[in-house]
Structures are given as structure tokens and as C-alpha cells.
């Protein structure tokens, strides 16, 4: 590892893409790729805790994914249940959280998610967030409706509506915005993921399918992040302290 551990992203978000194509290239059903993807989640979660990442958010199932074939959805829901049986959370002292339209999920999945969140609530090394039945447009719409109700009921005024207030109404309000967003699988799009939160995130795209994404691939993404200058609208000279 050539990169400096002192500049590890605090929050890494990942779009785990390529499971289905990985399976198809091997003559297997898409569910085979999703199962292999769970193994990658275990590897990357362990490595992130070792490196000192504090938040890891994984795009697991979007609201648009409900349009997929019923058998694939059933297989994915089954994988959610079995993967949460894994002791990786306790072994790595990882707290588990979930964001999304949880009410749309099957009852056994909802119960297991809550049990896992309760079981890991005291873990402190890293928080792993699963975006499940999630889309950013759903989240922003939900936040807008909540703010509109508060405005109607006189709880807030128009002047109270700020970026901070909007962020407080996001389902992700318990975590910082991502420093680094990684997308695997070769596609160059965000796919309705954390659109509000990644305003100033560094983006990293790679061709590697998620089942083949190894620790070395994570290291490359982090190295890329560390070689960039995050300016947040300022000039390079301002960031470097050369301009008053």
C-alpha cells in the first residue's frame, strides 16, 4: 500500500454494480452473481474497518429494482436475510444501519433488519449503511413533504428553510456526506443514489464487476481520492493558503 493512512476517506459510498453481468459471462443465473457480491461486501467491509473508514454506504437495492423479475427480487430478499446472519458486524465492531422505503420490504426482511440494527447498536469502529429499496428522488420528495407539512402547521417559516434543514429531513441525517463515491461495473452514472449528499464527493468509476472487486481495487480508489484537491468552490491557491 503506497497511500497514506492519515488521509483515508471518512465516508465511502459504493454503487455495487456488475453482479448480473458477472454471472451471465459465466453462464450462470443473475442470483449467482448477487451471492458472489455478498462475499465482496464481507471483504470490503473488513478492509474498510482495518483502514479506519468510519462510514460505508452500500447501494443494495433501488426503488427502481422493484421492476425486475419476481424471481430475482425474491432471490435478493433471501440474500439480505442470509447475509445479515454473518458475524462480520460483531467481529469487526461494525454498527449496521439501513435507509430506504423499508415498509415495502417483506416482513421477515424488515424484522431481520431491525434485529441486526439493535444487535449492533453498540458497535463503534465503523457504521455500515445499506441503501435498500432506496432512491434519492424518493428521499428528496419525502423530505420536501415533511418540510411542507411543518410550514403549513406553522412549525417553521420560509426563512427557516435552509440547506441544513433539508439535510436534517433526509433519511441519511445521522451520517456525514460521502467523501468518496465508488461505482464498479464500468457504467458512468449515479443511478439516483445520494444525489443531495454527493454534491462535493469525489467520484471514482472502474470497470471491475463488483464480485471481482478486491481490497487492491479499494486501495486504488482511495489513492485516487488522496491525489485530488477538494476545493469546495474555492481556487487552488485559496485551498493551499497562497491567496488571502
Q: For residue 244, what pLDDT is reported?
A: 53
Instruction: Give the active site residue among 2, 65, 173, 212.
Output: 65
Q: CA triplet 108, 113, 115: central angle to 5 degrees? A: 95
The pTM of this model reads 0.91
DSSP annotation of 209 = -
Instruction: Give the active site residue among 2, 7, 17, 192.
Output: 17
Each of the 244 residues of the chain gets a pLDDT tens digit; together they read: 555 677 899 999 999 999 999 999 999 998 899 999 999 999 999 999 999 999 999 999 898 889 888 888 888 888 887 787 777 899 999 999 999 999 998 899 999 999 999 999 999 999 999 999 999 999 999 999 999 999 999 999 999 999 999 999 999 999 999 999 999 999 999 999 999 999 999 999 999 999 999 999 999 999 999 998 876 665 666 566 666 5
Q: For residue 222, what pLDDT is reported?
A: 97
DSSP string, 46-73: HHHHHHT--EEEEEEEEGGGGGS-HHHH
Q: For residue 101, what pLDDT is reported?
A: 94
H, E, C per residue of 135-196 = CHHHHHHHHHHHHHHHHHCCCCCHHHCCHHHHHHCCCCCCCCCCCEEEECCCCCCCCCCCCC
Q: For residue 2, what pLDDT is reported?
A: 54
CA distance 238 to 34: 45
CA distance 183 to 16: 6
Q: Hey, what's the cell of 228? A: 485530488
Q: For residue 191, what pLDDT is reported?
A: 96
**Quick check: is 17 catalytic?**
yes
Q: For residue 165, what pLDDT is reported?
A: 98
Q: For residue 176, what pLDDT is reported?
A: 97
Give the pairing type, strands 11-15 and 180-183: parallel
Q: Give me the phi and psi of 192, to 5 degrees please.
A: 65, 40
Torsion of CA 44, 50, 56, 61, to 10 degrees: 20
Amino acid at each position: 500500500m503506497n497511500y497514506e493512512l492519515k488521509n483515508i476517506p471518512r465516508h465511502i459510498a459504493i454503487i455495487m454494480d456488475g453482479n448480473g453481468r458477472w454471472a451471465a459471462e459465466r453462464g450462470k443465473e443473475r442470483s449467482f452473481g448477487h451471492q458472489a457480491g455478498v462475499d465482496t461486501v464481507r471483504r470490503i467491509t473488513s478492509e474498510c474497518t482495518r483502514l479506519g473508514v468510519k462510514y460505508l454506504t452500500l447501494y443494495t437495492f433501488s426503488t427502481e429494482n422493484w421492476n425486475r423479475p419476481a424471481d430475482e427480487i425474491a432471490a435478493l430478499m433471501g440474500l439480505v436475510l442470509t447475509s445479515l446472519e454473518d458475524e462480520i458486524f460483531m467481529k469487526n465492531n461494525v454498527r449496521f444501519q439501513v435507509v430506504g422505503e423499508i415498509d415495502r420490504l417483506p416482513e421477515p426482511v424488515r424484522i431481520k433488519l431491525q434485529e441486526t440494527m439493535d444487535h449492533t447498536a453498540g458497535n463503534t469502529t465503523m457504521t455500515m449503511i445499506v441503501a435498500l429499496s432506496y432512491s434519492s428522488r424518493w428521499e428528496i420528495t419525502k423530505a420536501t413533504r415533511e418540510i411542507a407539512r411543518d410550514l403549513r402547521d406553522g412549525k417553521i417559516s420560509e426563512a427557516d428553510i435552509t440547506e441544513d434543514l433539508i439535510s436534517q429531513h433526509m433519511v441519511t441525517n445521522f451520517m456525514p456526506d460521502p467523501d468518496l463515491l465508488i461505482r464498479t461495473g464500468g457504467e458512468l452514472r449515479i443511478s439516483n443514489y445520494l444525489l443531495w449528499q454527493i454534491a462535493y464527493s469525489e467520484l471514482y468509476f472502474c470497470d471491475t464487476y463488483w464480485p471481482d472487486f478486491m481490497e487492491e481495487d479499494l486501495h486504488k480508489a482511495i489513492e485516487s481520492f488522496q491525489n485530488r484537491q477538494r476545493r469546495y468552490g474555492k481556487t487552488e491557491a485559496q485551498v493551499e493558503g497562497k491567496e488571502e
